[in-house]
Amino acid sequence: MPVASPEMYRKMLTAARDGHYAYPAINVTSVTTANAALKGFSDAGSDGIIQLSTGGGEFASGLGVKDAVIGSISIAKHVHLLAERYNIYIALHTDHCQPKKLDTYVRPLIAETVRRRAAGKANLFNSHMFDGSELPTDENLKLSVDLLKVCKENEIILEVEIGVVGGEEDGIDNTDTPAEKLYTTPEDMLAVAEQLGGMDAPFMVAATFGNVHGIYKPGNVVLKPKILAEGQQAVADKYGDDARFFLVFHGGSGSELKDIHETLNYGVIKMNIDTDTQYEFTQPLAEHIISSQSELTHTADAMANKKKFDPRSYLKKAEAGMAERIAKGCKDLKSDGKSIFA
């Protein structure tokens, strides 16, 4: 099935909210990692979200180009082509984009979708994230309103962040963020509803409740999921139940499964997974190198074994390892076996 249409993407999000499950949103950086995401979702019978960051897009364009937009377009086109071979729906998304990068990343990608639509083609990306969390709330929402207008015109869903996800990921370092900013307040949620809720356009909200980017042992991240429930209830009390947000969970590594499951009851429909899939991609590579070390290097006495240093020999293992972790993510988020493709 091709990448989900705007209508099908909205149905995906609604089905997840109503069914109390969420889609893993997998950061990819290459054709191989994109293929792993497609296989992982398919193996789990789950629809899913494949996403690129500015750093991922830059890497995908190669060392000779280093252009986040070109790299993201390249991977997105690859996913559009390969998704047709799978019986699930895939949505394409871009991850954290800070204000200073809007004009060099998100806006050019929206412009690419505008060109495609004019030519009768499908949207390149289904949704984009604007991370204005470094700004005062009023400035964050002002930019979000402007972006949502453009997204609405082109049937793109906007994701906004209110509050700050701690830790560091892909060059965005929030390790020194004051503790109070790591928790979105009901007042923050009401401000989002007031500014964006009346625009008759779907959007997602990355609210924070102690979640942090990075790698942690299970139990080391202390979450307060009730913050999401309190914010959603404040919005519903003022604007009605239909105003409740599609929520996004960032920084889930190290979270207890019971906390993850609790968030699903409060409207989380998308959970970003990057650190764990990076690890499961790399482990088969490490094992290959350790087990084949003597055959990977030419010596004075013998030549290396071509079957061992052929990149396909170890990248297949890496793809399989990452795909397996993605399928587990689908199970953990309860999206496995729930594809709406059928």
Report the catalytic residues: 95
Parallel/antiparallel/unpaired status of strands 167-169 and 172-174 = antiparallel
Bin 33: left if φ > 0, else alpha if -120 < ψ < 50, else beta.
alpha
CA angle 292, 296, 298 (to 5 degrees): 140
Nearest to 2 by CA among 86, 118, 112: 86
For the chain, give the longest Cα–Cα distance: 78
Residue type, 147: L
Q: Could you say which DSSP state residue 132 is in?
A: -
Classify residue 18 by burial, with Cβ atoms within 10 Å: 0-12, 13-18, 19+. exposed
3-state secondary structure of 64: coil
First-last CA distance in the chain? 11
Alpha carbon of 54 to those of 2, 236, 276: distances in Å?
24, 34, 19
